[in-house]
């Protein structure tokens, strides 16, 4: 006798939850995709391609709105907004998830990955894929890894050896690993949202930063940084994330189509990221006012030795198994 009432209540609850999480009974599902970089970057292009393919394949059922350049949410509040379902897709740098998991700190360890191909191999292996699920307790689901590129060090003075960074202030992303990395050099790391980096470099609040070529060029950081040392000392990649309650409330057929679109976009972003970074490197090298410093193997080894002690500090938090799995993807194995 209570069954119909219970069933009615249950379906009302499911409907309320579906509506609250973006799958209304009628009308299209709205996906707001916010990010902090420009359109002409690997992530910016990925967001636009996602929107285009959704329009082509799911027109009328799903609407995508893309907000680049921190115009909807920025570093300080985007993940909280995702958890509150005020935005449905983000692709923060892997350095920005520290409040939700320690496992992703592996990507910030300096000189862990030899190059972007090694990063790619790690992300495709079982350990890398497991990390996409490492924030489920916070209702954050990882949908894909997107590449940007390897980071370079820029400054107001020429950074040839680690000692040259001593005493300088560097902008960092909100990552204690990156904080420790710069402290190893005797430098002062300052956490700052990406949207503020250009002004902070221009007005001298900080004297240096670490960025991939595409972020340097798209934000014109090289115009306020006379020296860029090609260190390739770490990676700046992204995790495409959604609110898991929102994501799993999307009707199955639509979600499957969205996941197929994400696979296509991920393939394109990751196929083009390295070339896009190299093209931006050439543009910067050709621009007057910025010197690109290329290190010898010996010089690069000195940077590695100066920064690498950070690994030990974070082994407990990240897990020795995760670090080991990441190390094995390099073609040149070293201890
Ligand atoms: C980004 O590429 O999303 C920004 C990374 C940063 O904050 O440096």
Instruction: Confirm or reject: Cβ of 37 under 6 Å from ligand 1.
Output: yes
Dihedral angle over CA of 141, 146, 149, 154, nearest 10 = -50
State how far the Cα of 69 lies from the Cα of 66, in Å rounded to an integer.
Answer: 10
Q: Which domain holds residue 213?
A: 14-327
For residue 116, give every residue at least 6 positions away whose Cβ sits within 8 Å of its Cβ, in sequence order, or none.
Answer: 147, 149, 150, 235, 273, 274
Confirm whether 5 is domain-assigned: no
Confirm whether 118 is domain-assigned: yes
Confirm whether 7 is domain-assigned: no
Residue with CA nearest ligand 1 atom 7: 194
Confidence of residue 124 (pLDDT cuts 50, 70, 90): very high
Confirm whether 332 is domain-assigned: no
Tokens of residue 162, six digits: 């680690």
Q: Say which CATH number the domain at 84 has.
A: 3.40.190.170
For residue 266, give the 3-state DSSP assignment. Answer: helix
- The rounded Å distance from CA 256 to ligand 1 centre is 29
Instruction: Confirm or reject: Cβ of 194 under 6 Å from ligand 1.
Output: yes
Distances (CA, A) of 320 to 50, 222, 238: 36, 37, 22
Could you tell me if 141 and 241 are in contact, meaning their C-beta atoms sit under 8 angstroms apart? Answer: yes
Confirm whether 223 is domain-assigned: yes
For residue 89, give the 3-state DSSP assignment. Answer: strand
Please say if the pLDDT value at position 139 is more than 50: yes
Q: Residue 332 has what pLDDT?
A: 75
Please say if the pLDDT value at position 17 is more than 90: no
- Tell me the average pLDDT across 108-126: 97
Q: Domains in the chain: how many in total?
A: 1
Half-sphere exposure of 232 (CA within 13 A, CB side): 19
Angle between helices 320-327 and 310-318 (to 10 degrees): 120
Confirm whether 2 is domain-assigned: no
Instruction: Confirm or reject: Cβ of 36 under 6 Å from ligand 1.
Output: yes
């Amino acid at each position: 006798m209570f069954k119909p009432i219970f069933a009615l209540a249950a379906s009302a609850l499911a409907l309320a939850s579906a509506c609250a999480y973006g799958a209304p009974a009628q009308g299209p599902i709205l996906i707001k995709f916010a990010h902090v970089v420009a359109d002409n970057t690997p992530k910016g292009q990925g967001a636009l391609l996602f929107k285009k393919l959704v329009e082509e394949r799911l027109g009328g059922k799903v609407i995508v709105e893309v907000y680049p350049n921190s115009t909807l949410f920025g570093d300080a509040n985007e993940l909280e907004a995702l958890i509150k379902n005020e935005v449905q897709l983000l692709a923060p740098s892997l350095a920005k998830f520290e409040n939700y998991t320690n496992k992703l700190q592996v990507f910030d360890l300096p000189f862990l990955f030899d190059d972007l191909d090694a990063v790619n191999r790690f992300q495709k292996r079982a350990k890398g894929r497991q990390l996409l699920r490492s924030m489920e307790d916070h209702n954050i689901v990882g949908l894909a890894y997107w590449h940007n590129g390897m980071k370079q060090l820029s400054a107001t003075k020429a950074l040839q050896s680690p000692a040259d960074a001593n005493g300088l202030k560097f902008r960092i992303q909100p990552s204690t690993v990156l904080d420790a990395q710069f402290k190893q050099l005797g430098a002062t790391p300052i956490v700052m949202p990406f949207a503020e980096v250009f002004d902070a470099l221009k007005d001298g609040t900080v004297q240096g930063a670490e960025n991939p070529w595409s972020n340097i060029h798209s934000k014109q950081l090289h115009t306020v940084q006379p020296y860029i040392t090609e260190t390739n000392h770490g990676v700046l990649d992204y995790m495409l994330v959604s609110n898991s309650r929102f994501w799993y409330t999307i009707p199955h057929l639509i979600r499957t189509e969205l996941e197929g679109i994400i696979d296509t976009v991920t393939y394109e972003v990751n196929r083009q990221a390295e070339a896009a970074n190299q093209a931006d490197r050439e543009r910067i090298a050709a621009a007057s006012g910025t010197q690109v410093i290329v290190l010898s193997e010996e010089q690069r080894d000195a940077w590695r030795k100066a920064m690498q002690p950070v690994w030990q500090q974070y082994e407990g938090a990240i897990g020795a198994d995760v670090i080991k799995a990441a190390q094995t993807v390099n073609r040149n194995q070293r201890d």
